[in-house]
Structure 1
């Protein structure tokens, strides 16, 4: 579900504090977009899924990124109704829970330690 190598690589590159800021920004941006996903507007859906795919792969949300990629292609091919938005939401939620279970949900948690 998650690419822990990518996640740890990013965390090592930027440090704990910056990683937590990136994580918070990622979650805010992704959740803002994911809540408006709708098959009623194929172009918007394609654009949103492309954005989500990039965010997902950048932060190690591997399975979510693959689902976004598949959905983006479906929307681009004129089949937005085939995009399983519920599956996307469920996968994102599971991925987020796994990540937060490991790194915690607040800046204070990372600042107190808890290195993987």
Structure 2
């Protein structure tokens, strides 16, 4: 679910202190973005929000979540809002559980 090479690359690029800030900001922005996703919103608005979420997710290595957002954005799959949130929740749980291990590697 997580591209740990991307996570390590980002940490190396920006340093530990900025990396921790990026994680906090990412979690805040994505969770706020997910709250705004609804099944009954316009196709254009939903695509814009999903595009934003996918971009954020790719920056921090949430590859499975990003791929789902991109697929829904492009109309390749019809995941409902709760499925998108569930995918994010699983990705977030894996990220938070394994970040220490991944950074030590």
Q: Which TM bucket (shorter chain)?
A: 0.7 to 0.9
1:38-49 map, 5 Å: 38-41=38-41, 42-49=43-50
TM-score (norm 2): 0.87
Where relative contact order (Cα < 8 A, 6+ residues apart) is larger, the structure is 2
TM-score (norm 1): 0.80
Structure 2 stretches lacking a partner, 5+ long? none
Residue 99 of structure 1, CA deviation: 1.2
2 CA distance for matches of 1:83 and 1:63?
13
Structure 1 stretches lacking a partner, 5+ long? 105-113
Backbone CA RMSD of aligned residues? 1.9
Q: Check the 8 A contact 2:39/2:80 in 1, yes or no.
A: no
Count of residue pairs brought into register by the alignment: 102
- Between structure 1 and structure 2, the one with the greater Rg is 1
Residue 115 of structure 1, CA deviation: 3.6
Correspondence for 2:84: 88
- Runs of 4+ aligned residues of structure 1 deviating over 3 Å after TM superposition are none
